[in-house]
């Protein structure tokens, strides 16, 4: 068989690894972490428990979870030199570029160990340290860009509570922090997506784990991956009003332009995470005893219009369509949407990093050459 017969642009559908961490059913719209349905984890679990599940492969006992959470909370407190690095960056810079820099700098003092000699327990501890540090780095940068002093983390708060506290300078309402906690669970893992693949490729070289996660953050920063929910808000703002949805959509479809927040490579029905996020938005509206915002009205109208026109093509809302809307309702700045994604997905990235270490092989794909055939070199003075 000719190598060209195996060519799949973007490696779509090509198995690149084996994993026991998560799986999904695109036809049924189902997602599982270690075999547990995402709906059950979102309803009954916490982000900290899900981190443990993803990293270790099993749900923790009460004793194990308490010890695990204590370690995460210790990791909230980053070295002072990392704070200096972040505060020294141009404040007009990208939030994801800053986060990537922060994580890389976090690993500078950890380069004195050999990844070859790193034992599983040591790797597990490093994973906890990275996961616990990312929210602090993200919040530190947000405060710096707004000209505000850094709000140090508090060890008595959960990951979700602590991020909102560092962001806004006050302890959030328990209902608000629970909603964010569920959002973190929904974004914690999603099989071999682009950023997870970057984790595997970089990790396969036995690079420093901080460099591994830095590579994943860089991959996530692209609008076709982590930045999509930010594009959704821009799109809905551009539409401006529910009455503008129909003519706007007519124009977009006619021009074959992308409708942000719709469609998925795997799911052929509505993304199960989008369903949960939509329910959370409804709960938030009830809790705030508030009318539906115009952004939400536009979103609901657009979803209905898309269902009528594109449902037959299995194009439905994905997780990005409602996550940005929900974050906006929670008062989270648009610039923090993708860093928040990284806070959650760091759990999945590091679970894959730990898993890969047990049976590692460096990635070395091949290519199909489409360049010139053999040519003779012409000296510069004869060209």
| pLDDT for the residue 107 | 87
Annotated active-site residue 175? The verdict is no
Predicted local confidence at residue 114, as pLDDT: 65
**What integer pLDDT is reported at residue 271 of this predicted model?**
85
Q: What is the pLDDT of residue 110?
A: 67
Active-site residue, from 320, 352, 359, 381 = 320
| pLDDT score for 121 | 93
Rounded-to-integer distance, Cα 209 and Cα 84, Å: 22
Q: Which of 264, 271, 359, 381 is catalytic?
A: 264
CB 349 within 8 A of CB 199: yes
pLDDT digits (tens, 9 = 90+) for 166-203: 999 999 999 999 999 999 999 999 999 999 999 999 99
Burial environment of residue 347 by CB neighbours within 10 A (0 to 12, 13 to 18, 19 or more): buried
Burial class (CB in 10 A: 0-12, 13-18, 19+), 64: middle
- Residue 14 has what pLDDT? 84
CB atoms within 10 A of CB 269: 16
What does pLDDT average to in each consecutive run of 10 residues of the chain (383 residues)?
75 88 91 97 98 98 97 96 93 94 88 73 95 97 94 97 96 94 97 95 94 96 86 92 94 90 76 90 76 81 89 82 88 93 98 94 90 93 93
Q: Which of 88, 86, 134, 126 is CA-nearest to residue 109? A: 126
pLDDT of residue 294: 82
Query: Which pLDDT does position 161 carry in this prediction?
Result: 98
Longest alpha-carbon distance in the chain:
80
Q: What percent of the chain has pLDDT over 90?
A: 68
Cβ–Cβ under 8 Å, residues 203 and 353: yes
Is 320 considered catalytic here? yes
Sheet strands side by side (includes 30-33): 22-25, 30-33, 36-37
pLDDT tens, position by position, 88-105: 999 999 999 999 999 999
pLDDT at 285: 79
pTM: 0.92
């Amino acid at each position: 068989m000719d190598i060209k017969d195996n060519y799949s642009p973007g490696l779509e559908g090509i198995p690149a690894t084996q994993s026991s961490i998560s799986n999904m059913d695109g036809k049924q719209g189902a997602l599982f972490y270690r075999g547990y349905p995402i709906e059950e984890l979102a309803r009954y679990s916490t982000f900290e428990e899900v981190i443990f599940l993803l990293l270790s492969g099993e749900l923790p006992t009460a004793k194990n979870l308490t010890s695990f959470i204590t370690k995460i909370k210790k990791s909230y407190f980053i070295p002072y030199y990392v704070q200096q690095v972040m505060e020294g960056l141009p404040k007009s810079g990208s939030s994801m570029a800053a986060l990537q820099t922060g994580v890389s700098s976090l690993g500078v003092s950890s380069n004195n160990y050999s990844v070859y000699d790193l034992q599983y327990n040591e790797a597990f501890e490093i994973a906890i340290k990275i996961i616990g540090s990312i929210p602090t780095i993200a919040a530190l940068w947000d405060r710096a860009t707004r000209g505000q002093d850094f709000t140090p983390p508090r060890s008595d708060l959960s990951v979700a509570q602590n991020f909102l506290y560092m962001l806004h300078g006050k302890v959030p309402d328990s209902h608000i922090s629970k909603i964010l906690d569920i959002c973190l669970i929904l974004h914690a893992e999603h099989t071999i997506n682009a950023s997870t693949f970057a984790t595997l490729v970089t990790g396969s070289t036995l690079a420093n784990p901080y460099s591994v996660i830095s590579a994943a953050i860089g991959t996530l920063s692209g609008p076709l991956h982590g930045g999509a929910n930010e594009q959704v808000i821009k799109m809905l703002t551009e539409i401006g009003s529910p009455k503008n949805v129909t003519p706007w959509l007519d124009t977009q479809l006619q021009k074959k332009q992308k409708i942000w927040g719709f469609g998925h490579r795997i799911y052929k029905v509505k993304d199960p995470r989008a369903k949960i996020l939509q329910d959370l938005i409804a709960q938030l509206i009830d809790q705030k005893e508030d009318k539906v915002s115009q952004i939400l009205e536009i979103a609901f109208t657009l979803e209905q219009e898309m269902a009528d026109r594109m449902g037959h093509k299995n194009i439905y809302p994905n997780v990005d369509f409602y996550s940005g809307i929900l974050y906006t309702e929670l008062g989270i700045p648009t610039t923090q949407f993708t860093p928040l994604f990284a806070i959650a997905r760091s759990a999945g990235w590091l679970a894959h990093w730990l898993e890969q270490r047990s049976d590692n092989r460096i990635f070395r794909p091949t290519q199909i050459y489409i360049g010139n055939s053999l040519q003779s070199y012409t000296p510069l003075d004869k060209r």
